[in-house]
Structure 1
Amino acid sequence: MAGIVLALSVGGLGACSAPVQERYFMLSPDEVNAPSEATTGAAVMGIGPIAIPSHLDRTQLVTRSSDNRLIINQFDRWAEPLDENIQRVLIENLDRRLHPQRIETFPWNSRDGVVWQVVVDFGQFERQPDGSVGMAARWKIVNFASGEIVVSERFSDTIIPRDTTTEATVAAMSILLGRLSDSISAAYRR
């Protein structure tokens, strides 16, 4: 009798608890339009490669609980690989700011006519222990034909999300990508 009561109790508990649903997130381009001095029809740009740290190269969103501890958010996931999502957003942002003749995604071939290559290496791009979202990246603009690095800079910025939700964190990350795009665009126009 005790075994039957236990089996019914466990079965009842399982029926009462709903499974946790995975949630999927994507970074988004901003709505910034090119300033009046933007060069319409500029040379063909190539975006990539985009490098992210190995700890961010996963389907789950990652946050920091301390400088040395990460939290893998099991049910909050990227809808596509993070490096691909970053590349797609940078392409859209830079296209709106610079209006190049065309933008190619890495890898491309010699027939694509890429003149300027934008390479970005992220060192950090996640929510921090204090609740802010931080980005640290090194980026460069390369003359693709000669291999000469024309501009090489570091970008570092933080933003406080509007609240503590994952959706607000991802929105803040998108804003930081917009600011990175501003930095690249300003250097490209120099």
Structure 2
Amino acid sequence: MSPRLPWRTLVVLAVLNLGGCASTPPSSFYLLSVLSAMDGPPTPADSELAIGLGPVSFPVFLDRPQIVTQTGGNRLAVDEFHRWGGTLQDDFMRVWSENLARLLGTSRILILPSEVRYPLDVRIAAEVLAFQGTADAQALLKVRWVVLDPNLDRVLAVRESRYQRPLAAPKDENALIAALSATLADFSREVATLARDLPKQAPAFDEKR
């Protein structure tokens, strides 16, 4: 006959069994969205404008799989169960390039660095300073960006832009990603307007000719 266990031991074992049965909530994964038909019809794809995008840098606190929200003051919330589907930088570049292609009516959008080589009219580099939710239920994008002549490596324009969009539902991750996508769309429109109005650059002089 096996000895009887003390009641305190039985309680501890029961708690441990309950803990083992509890499952960790599954993570949800998110992607930014490109401009849709609701944002207006795309520009007809007849432009020969060629744009190189990059490099684009992000602060270290955003360069992580988890979605980040600034909850107030200097405090950040890093959500372990709501994550980017890939890397934030790759997704930002993908959507930015697709937005510009739609707005400018060109397929000649090159994400740098790239193995593909063709003449570019302009190159746009950017430093993302903020791309997160805020304590007052807003999505914030703050970015410094520069437009360069790719042939002469000459600066054509320098900007610092800030965009905010309210969340449709506070503390809702789907609403946050939709609002962040909207700020990226606003940024894309500003870049497209500037790129469209720049004078076309002459090709680089080849001293061998």
Same fold? TM cut 0.5: yes
Give the secondary-structure state (helix, strand or coil) at the position aligned to 1:121: strand
Give the secondary-structure state (helix, strand or coil) at the position aligned to 2:20: helix
Alignment correspondent of 1:19 = 24
Alignment correspondent of 2:191 = 184
Q: Structure 1 residue 105: deviation in Å?
A: 1.0
Give, in whole Å, the separation in 1 of the partners of 2:194 and 2:28.
37
Q: Which amino acid aligns with 2:103?
A: R
RMSD, aligned α-carbons: 1.8
Query: Sequence identity of aligned pairs in percent?
Result: 23
Q: Which amino acid aligns with 1:69?
A: R
Alignment correspondent of 1:131 = 137
Q: TM-score, normalised by structure 1?
A: 0.90
Q: Which amino acid aligns with 2:91?
A: N
Give, in whole Å, the separation in 2 of the partners of 1:89 and 1:110.
19
Moved runs in structure 1, 4+ residues, more than 3 A? 32-35
2:17 matched to 1:49? no
Aligned residue pairs total 187
Q: Which amino acid aligns with 1:18?
A: S
Greater radius of gyration (CA): 2
Give, in whole Å, the separation in 2 of the partners of 1:5 and 1:111.
69
Contact 1:42-1:98 within 8 A present in 2 as well: no
Contact 1:46-1:117 within 8 A present in 2 as well: yes
Contact 1:63-1:127 within 8 A present in 2 as well: yes
- Runs (5+) with no aligned partner, structure 2: 198-209
Contact 2:64-2:87 within 8 A present in 1 as well: yes
Change in CA separation of 1:137 and 1:19 when aligned onto 2, cut-off 3 Å: same
Aligned pair partner of 2:181 in 168, 174, 184: 174
